[in-house]
Structures are given as structure tokens and as C-alpha cells.
Structure 1
Amino acid sequence: MNNDIARPITAQLIVLGLVFAAIDAEASYAIYVGKNLTVDGSVLIGGSGDEVSSHWLEVVPARDHDSGTTVTVGVDGAANMPGRFIEIPQASRTHRYLTMNYSEYEGFPPPLTNGGLNEHNVAARDVWSPSRDELIAMTPDPQTGPNYSDLSRIVMQRATSAREAVEILGKLIDEYGYSTYGGNSHMFADPDEGWVFINYAGGRRLWIAERLGPDDIRMSYPGYIHEVPLDYRQHPDFMGSENFVDFAVAQGWFDPQAGVPFVASSVYGNNPPRYPRDEIEQELRRAAPIDLRRMLDVVRDVRISKDSTGYGQVASLRHGVRPELRTLWIAPTASVTAPFVPYRIGVQHVRPEYGKHRYLTKGEATRFVTRDWQIREATEFAGRTFKRLLYFACDHPGIFYPEVREALTAFE
């Protein structure tokens, strides 16, 4: 075990033993390592989503769509922050991608996704990023516009680069608004660079994005962007809504004459760093160059992978790989006790054990299993299997977890 990446095993076991003491649905994370800081020159991106519902792997084929086709986006009155669905135009062609879907978060309509990997080697993660209380209070009722999952899915369907992902989402929010649960962020990456994208509550169509370059390391936990240049719309490393600074000035939250920088995380956010965000960023930088094995270990770190974690994902993005062989490493539940399995974009079928099951799936408690679904339910659901392993390991972490971790690492 590399001590620059993880704490000594005794400290890790203490954390694992307390894994249920600090369960928080707002605990998703994303990690980016630039290509100058990796062993093989690839960009590394990984992380997880924290949602209580079931999760299942899906390979979504590329599709052509007739002119005039639309897609329903947003939230309805059942969401924790209610809204109204709207229709927006669908692209004429959508890309092939791998994703982990789930069925419940803050009352949003299923199926939900945080991103994944598409055939153009664009990877996406989604991480909570709380907006300041005043923005949450401003949010219209009902709100309209695509929600975080809609945006994540649209990036997988339409983007051919991380920069294009930001451009696509920015244009959508500018035109249609954004349906929020209180503030959110995305992390996008391709073989050359990454971007962090923050979309704020309030119904004012506020968004900002920052480029992550080849020498950058970033952990979104929660998602954050600090200092933003006032000429951000002309800056090559930033993009944002036209009103991003002006709205803060109008609200009295920022004074451009005061001689202080515009710090987005302070002006618009309510998201102080959560342990171990800074620690992991520093550990990764000290340990550079980073390889895929170490990135898998970081996403598995017991300080962040826990009972509320829905799955784990890691992508190593580099040029020269055939589209069908581009790979997303996926753990079916919290990777602290679940193996990462490499799935290629070209895979034609997902094993039924990793597919959708009734366990913890929204709405399944109100109906019986249908005949065509019985054979799926007859298989052993991977998410449930490795969740049980987590509970066993947490019962006696000092005895069980070293063996579990060693076995997972050897398997991978």
C-alpha cells in the first residue's frame, strides 16, 4: 500500500469502522489528474455518486433521431424543489456510452445518471455543490429547465470533447434554465484536459466553468471553483454565463471596486471543503506520477467510499485507443468492498448481475415482479452482494478488511 495515497492500514480500519456514523447523501466526489502527472500520459478521472437507491450498469447504443424529435427534461411537482417538465430538441445523432443509472435522488424522475464514458473518450462525473441560501430561496416554484441528470446524459450523448461538454451545457442553461436541488457541479475530461462546471440554484441561469490542464489535480468534494477573472468570457481557461459577475454586483455580494478577487465558491456558494478533499489533492501531487492502479486505490479510499456510495468509476483517457476499446472501470456499489471491472464501450451486453434489479429501486415495493423480469431477478445482484460484504467487513474491520482489500486488488 502506498502511504502517499492512503493512510496506514490501522487508521483506515478506524475510519471503516465508523463508516456508518457519517452517512451523508451529499457526499459524491470526482477526482482529476492531468496527463503530465500520470505514468503513461493519460488523463485520469474517477469518483462516485452517493444515492440511496439501486444502481445498474447500462450500455446505451448510438442512435439517429428524426428531425423534430424532442426530449423531456426537468423535474415535476414530486421533486423536493418542485418544477415543471419541458421539451427541448434532441440531437440528430446521439453517441454510444456507458453509464450507471439509478432510480431516486431528491424526488427527481428516474432513470438518473451522473455521467460515464462515451465513444469519443469524454468522461463525466457529477458532484453536489451547494449554492448560497439566498439563491436557493430565489428558486422559482415551479422551476423549469434540464436537471443535473439531464445535463449529464446530454453530455454523454452529444459531446466529443470536455470543452464541447461545457459549451453544450452552457448554451442549454442560457436558453432553457436549470432545475436544481440546491446547486450542483460536473467534472468533464478527455485525453487532453478537464473542466469543472458549476450550475447554481436561483433560477437566474448562473453558471461558471474552469479548465483543468495537464499539470492540475482536482478533487470535487464538493465541486468548487475559486478565483474567477473578471474578464472570464475572454479567458481561455474559463467560460460562464453573461450575467455571472453582474448579478453578484447587483445583489451586493461583490464589489468590483474593492480590489479583491471574485471567488465564486464564496460569492455564490455555500461549500467549504470537506475532509479529505485537500488531503487527497496533496497526497496525489506528492505521489505523482500516478498510474491507473493508484487511481483505483484513491477512489476506493475508506475516507470517501462508504455505505452511502452507490458505485465507483475510473477512466484512463488517452489518444490512440480504438473507440470500441475505450474503457470505464466500474464498481457495482461502494468500491471500498467491491471490485472494479473494466467495461469497454464496444460491449454488446451487460451481465444480468450488473443490470437493473428490484432491490432498492424506486416504485418496486408497490408491484409484483412481471413474468418477463423473473429471470433477471433470479440472478445474484452484484450491488447487493458487495453491499453485504461491506457490512461484514464493517462488523470486524481489523480482521476482515485487510483480506478483502487484498483480494479486490489481486482480482483487478
Structure 2
Amino acid sequence: MLISAPVSACTIFAVTPGASEDGSMYVGHTNDGVGFDWRNYDDISLIYIPAADHATGDKRPIAFDPNSGSDAAGNKAQGNSETILGYIDQVPHTYAYYTASYGMMNEHQLLSGECTDYAKIQLGAEEGKRIFYSSELSNIALERCTTARGAVELVGELIESYGYYGTGETLIFADPKEAWVIEMCSNPEGTGGLWVAEKIPDGEVFVEGNEFRIREIVPNDPDMLYATDLFRIVEENGMWSPADGTLDWLEATSYGEYSHPYYSLMRVWSIQNRLAPSLELSPYVEDSYTEAYPFTIKPDEKVNLTTAFSLYRDHYEGTEFDLTTGVAAGPFGNPYRYLGPSDAHTDFQNETFIEVRPGANPRPVSAVFCAYSYVAQARADLPDPVGGVLWFGPAVAYETVYAPMYAGAENVSVPYATGDREVYDPESAYWTFDFVTNWAMLRYDAMIVDIQQKQSELESESIEAVKVTDAQAVELIQAGDEAGARQLLTTFTVERGDTIIDEWQALSGMLVVKYSNGLITDPTNENVEESGYPAWWSQEADYQYGPRVYALDQLRDTDGLNFTGQTVWVPKNASFEDILSII
């Protein structure tokens, strides 16, 4: 089965309890891709999978994931998610969990996040031989596991037993106390698969953006796991030799970044630099195999929930890569760029060559093609149904609102579970938020102020409401009424989601009225402002050579005029030379 479908190009992080302000575990994921997933759902919708009991002898089907190939713009999937590649034995009981393209959080506070990586060996799916991609692996882990290490061990076992196809992939698994990273790719021998896993030290933060981050593989390290025949396979297939020294997972299995230089590393640098400026990390590196950015960092200040949200709201503001500045951002600081051939998510380097393209825009953390993002939270001091909260944000991360969804809830707000990229539906959560992002591009510098004010208001309200709901649910559980607690958590999850959608739709209407037709209309007092363009843009756009005198041809032949924004009065009979001497 050929692989040429668009897939996720995501940014993920994990904040361990020792690195967070209140001892929470956080796992973040942006799903920056398009297409249909293993359930034949568009990847913009959120799905709640209930817990289930299964009879002896039941089998669990493994669906083909059409998003398992290269993320080349415009490509369509070969095959579809209705294709069943094989079956594995079902377990007696599977846990409830939230999923979309990938599993997010289950009812036992097991969290997960995913990102795609470039690997040297990317084999296609084959029934009975290579049946697993990371999407089904993440979901099965949430169906069956309660701990991060248990999830890693299960995923590794499934890869070796049933084979792995598609792109290189990374999954984070975290429980309330421990977090692990597992990275995987196809086996050049055609069966099984290659994988390694490393524990994230408590008190540290891990970040990844579409490039393997695990490096040296140390045998017998208790904080490291890997495929049974890893060393033999990479040596016999010429991917590594003991003479090279310690096995470097990244160098052995990947050429590093894909698409273009800094596509991955700039995001890693940005998040690490924002959390730990004391490290004075340089944004510049020698190549994809750089060791300039450590596997994990200790943040200068402990991370709270609001800070965790902010990690995804980044266009490199305040740095030399700031996408809100310069001619490309237009007159109003639009940070989003139309993707072109040089931005395509295709391989640009191999063993001996590197493709130097005409140029590419920096790839921001908050990408305009984002389907959804989330920050999943686990809290060891609370019962599982209460301690796990999925903070889910549809569409583009910078302009979304993260809505709380409890691990113990048994339903979600309807707008979050519906939607299709090919059909505009203003009632769906995705289109509710995506509309605001696209409308904001007309006058981003002004509209983002309104957006952030409402965003902060809603998220602050949610954080306070969660504290109240936590206490109520815990009280019910301690009284022996877990069913009542789950009902409370479900009602809160659904109603809070509904409220956020209603509030954002109201914001959408206000923004349309306030910023229509290039004007700024105050919706309360109806004052209208004709703000025009900033002076620097008028200069760049040759505004000063426009029709302001009748000697227009002579004006256009004049070089070196600087726009000052000032007007002057001259006699009607003044010559062009007289006017020119003044302006």
C-alpha cells in the first residue's frame, strides 16, 4: 500500500510534576495536518470512546491510517481508513478515552501526544506484515494501559510482533507521576519495527517538533527501553557500526529535519528558550544533528496551566524570526503565510545531498493549518475521574480557547464532536474558531487584542470553574457516589463547551461588525475610525507616488521620496518643482 497522504506536522511537549507550579503533569499536542484518520472521521473532530467489556475470543481490528505518509501539500491518501490490515486479541475490558487522529487522555489519567518525524526507512502498510502506525498504537495504549511505562512497553511489543509502517513517529505517554517518550520507524528487514524510549526526568520539560529527539542509546539504562534486536538490525543493515561509537538513534534512523532547515529545530529552540532563557540557547545550529538543544530542560520558573497554553501561542514574537513584522506580514502584522512549494513537507536532504530551495517562511509553533491542539493535565492528588482534564482547543492555537473536559466525563459538547473541513458549518467548534482566525487576518494587529481579551476571560473562568467542580466531584466520590460524580463531570464538560462556543460565536459577530470594510466601528457608541495604513507600509507601498498632484507622471519619475504622513498647502499656480521642493 503506497504512502503519499498528508499527515500531522505537530509540536509536542511534556511538563513533569516537578517542573509545574502545582505538581500537575502536562502533555501538549498540536495536530497540524489535514485528512481523514483511522476512523474515517475528519481530523478536526473530537471523539469520546466509552469503556467497554469484551467476550473471550474477541478480536480488535487494526485500521489503515491514510495519514501515515509524507505531508506533501495536495496529496490524497492511497487507500482509506476502512481498510483493515489485521486483528489482534481483544482484552476483557477497555478504558474510556478521548481521541481524534490520535489518543489524548483516558479515564485513568494516562495522557498522550504525537508528532511525525522523517525516517530513512518508511515502508508501506501490508496486511499481516506491517499493520501498525502510531495512531492505532496510541489509541490501543489508552484503551489498555494506566501507566506511561506500561503504555511504552505495550507499544514496543505491538511494533515488534505485528510490524510498523509509515513515517517516523514520536509518542509521549504520561501518567500523574511519570512521562516517557517513544520513537519509532519501519524495520529495513520488512517485519517488526524499530523503536526506542526514554524517560523524561522529573523536574524537566521535553519538547519536540517533527524530528527525533532521542540520541545515544545506552544498554542497561533503567530509564531507556528499545527494540529487542535494535543493535543487530541497525548494524547488519549498515545504519550504524560499533566503530562509530555509541549508537545515536537520530543519526542512525533519520536525516533529521524535513521540509527545510530549522523547520523542526526553531520550534524546539523557541519553547526551550522561553522556558529557560538562562540557558542562552542560540537559534542557530550547524545542521539537523545538532546537540545544541538538550533532550530536556529545567524551566527557570515552574510552569502553570496558563503558561502551558502560551507555549502554543507563538509566532516568534520579539525574536529576529518574528512573523508579525516585515513586509511579508502586511501592514497589520498578519503572522500567517500562504504555503508554497518551498514550504512543502517533503524530504530536502539525504545521505549525500541537501536541496537548497528558493526560500521558505519560518514554521511557527502556532501554524495556520492546525486542526486542533490541547494541553492534557493529570493530577496525582485527585481521583482519576477528577484529576485528568483535557484542555482542548479547536483550529489555530494562537486564537483558540482551551475548553476543559474531564477524564471522568462521558460525553462532550456536540460542536466539538462534529465538523468537516470540506463543509462550512458555523455550529461546529472547528469552524467557529477557524472563522475568527481567518477574519482576523484582515486587521490582525487590532483584532488580536479583542481576541486575546475574550480568550483570557473564558480560560480564566474555566480554570476557576474547574476548581469548584473538582471539590464537588471529590466530595461525591468520597461519599461513595462515583456515578453521581461522573454525571457532574459530564454535565460540566458539555455545558462549559457549549458556553465557550456561544461566547466565541458572539465574538465572531462583533468582529465582523467592528472591522468590516476596512473601518473600525465601535459597537457601543458607533464611532467610526478610518485608520488607514501605518507610515512604514505607505513608504514600502509607494503611497507617496499616488495621485496627490496633477503632474502625476513627473511624481512617479521622482526617486527617493519618503512618506512623512504630513500634508502641506501650496498655491494653486505652484509649479511641480515648487511642490517637490516642499514635499
State the alpha-carbon separation in 1 of the partners of residues 269 and 92 from structure 2: 42
Shift, 1:383, TM fit: 0.6
Aligned partner (choices 15, 22, 28) of residue 33 of structure 1: 15
3-state DSSP of counterpart to 1:126: strand
Residue in 1 that maps onto 2:28: 46
3-state DSSP of counterpart to 2:418: coil
1:347-380 C-alpha deviation (Å, 9 max, x unpaired): 23322211223x326xxx8xxxxxxxxxxx9871
Residue in 2 that maps onto 1:388: 435
Kept in 2: contact 1:84–1:144 (CA 8 A): no
Residue in 1 that maps onto 2:165: 179
Kept in 1: contact 2:109–2:407 (CA 8 A): no
Q: Give the letter aligned to residue 268 of structure 2.
A: R
Kept in 2: contact 1:71–1:89 (CA 8 A): yes
Residue in 2 that maps onto 1:294: 307
Shift, 1:26, TM fit: 4.5
1:366-410 C-alpha deviation (Å, 9 max, x unpaired): xxxxxxxxxxx9871111111010101122211211221222122
Q: Give the letter aligned to residue 165 of structure 1.
A: A
With structure 1 as the length reference, what TM-score do the two structures score? 0.80
Q: Give the letter aligned to residue 285 of structure 1.
A: A
3-state DSSP of counterpart to 1:299: coil
Residue in 1 that maps onto 2:87: 87
Matches within 5 A, 1:48-197: 48-53=30-35, 54=42, 55-75=44-64, 80=78, 85-99=85-99, 101=100, 113-132=101-120, 135-136=121-122, 144-180=130-166, 182-197=167-182
Matches within 5 A, 1:191-230: 191-202=176-187, 203-204=190-191, 205-230=193-218
Residue in 2 that maps onto 1:312: 373
Aligned partner (choices 397, 400, 405) of residue 452 of structure 2: 405
State the alpha-carbon separation in 2 of the partners of residues 168 and 240 from structure 1: 12
Q: 1:347 to 1:277 in 2, by over 3 A?
A: same
Q: Give the letter aligned to residue 103 of structure 2.
A: G
Shift, 1:328, TM fit: 0.7
State the alpha-carbon separation in 2 of the partners of residues 123 and 277 from structure 1: 21
Kept in 2: contact 1:116–1:124 (CA 8 A): yes
3-state DSSP of counterpart to 1:71: strand
Kept in 2: contact 1:30–1:125 (CA 8 A): yes
Kept in 2: contact 1:166–1:195 (CA 8 A): yes
State the alpha-carbon separation in 1 of the partners of residues 8 and 141 from structure 2: 22
Mapped pair 1:330 → 2:395: no
Q: 1:66 to 1:25 in 2, by over 3 A?
A: closer
Q: 1:214 to 1:178 in 2, by over 3 A?
A: same
State the alpha-carbon separation in 1 of the partners of residues 33 and 412 from structure 2: 22
Residue in 1 that maps onto 2:323: none
Q: Give the letter aligned to residue 398 of structure 1.
A: D
Q: Give the letter aligned to residue 172 of structure 1.
A: L
State the alpha-carbon separation in 2 of the partners of residues 191 and 346 from structure 1: 15
Shift, 1:141, TM fit: 5.7
Q: Give the letter aligned to residue 95 of structure 2.
A: H
Q: Give the letter aligned to residue 143 of structure 2.
A: Q
Residue in 1 that maps onto 2:238: 252
Q: Give the letter aligned to residue 275 of structure 2.
A: L
Q: Give the letter aligned to residue 356 of structure 1.
A: T
Residue in 1 that maps onto 2:295: none
Q: 1:285 to 1:32 in 2, by over 3 A?
A: farther
Kept in 2: contact 1:327–1:342 (CA 8 A): yes
3-state DSSP of counterpart to 2:152: helix
Kept in 2: contact 1:74–1:147 (CA 8 A): no
Q: Which runs of 5+ in 2 are unaligned?
A: 1-5, 36-41, 67-75, 258-263, 278-299, 316-363, 460-583
Aligned partner (choices 246, 258, 262) of residue 247 of structure 2: 262
State the alpha-carbon separation in 1 of the partners of residues 369 and 138 from structure 2: 21
3-state DSSP of counterpart to 1:282: helix
3-state DSSP of counterpart to 1:199: strand
Residue in 2 that maps onto 1:242: 228
Matched residue pairs, number?
A: 355
Shift, 1:81, TM fit: 8.5
Kept in 1: contact 2:52–2:93 (CA 8 A): yes
Shift, 1:178, TM fit: 1.4
As a proportion of its length, which structure holds more strand? 1
Residue in 2 that maps onto 1:351: 413
State the alpha-carbon separation in 1 of the partners of residues 186 and 199 from structure 2: 22
State the alpha-carbon separation in 1 of the partners of residues 158 and 269 from structure 2: 32
Higher mean alpha-carbon deviation, 60-69 vs 345-354, is at 345-354
Q: 1:81 to 1:185 in 2, by over 3 A?
A: farther
1:142-186 C-alpha deviation (Å, 9 max, x unpaired): 662222211111011011111001011111111111132x21111
Q: 1:199 to 1:226 in 2, by over 3 A?
A: closer
Q: 1:150 to 1:328 in 2, by over 3 A?
A: same
Kept in 1: contact 2:425–2:431 (CA 8 A): no
Q: 1:42 to 1:185 in 2, by over 3 A?
A: same
- Structure ID, larger Rg: 2
Kept in 2: contact 1:116–1:123 (CA 8 A): yes
State the alpha-carbon separation in 2 of the partners of residues 76 and 222 from structure 1: 18
Q: 1:84 to 1:59 in 2, by over 3 A?
A: closer
Structure 1 consecutive aligned stretches of length 4 or more whose deviation exceeds 3 Å: 76-84, 138-143
Q: Give the letter aligned to residue 406 of structure 1.
A: Q
3-state DSSP of counterpart to 1:276: helix
Q: Give the letter aligned to residue 247 of structure 2.
A: F
Q: What's the RMSD between the two structures over aligned residues?
A: 2.5
Q: Give the letter aligned to residue 154 of structure 1.
A: I
3-state DSSP of counterpart to 1:407: helix
State the alpha-carbon separation in 2 of the partners of residues 85 and 25 from structure 1: 19
Q: Relative CO higher for 1 or 2, CA cutoff 8 Å, sep ≥ 6?
A: 1
State the alpha-carbon separation in 2 of the partners of residues 80 and 275 from structure 1: 32
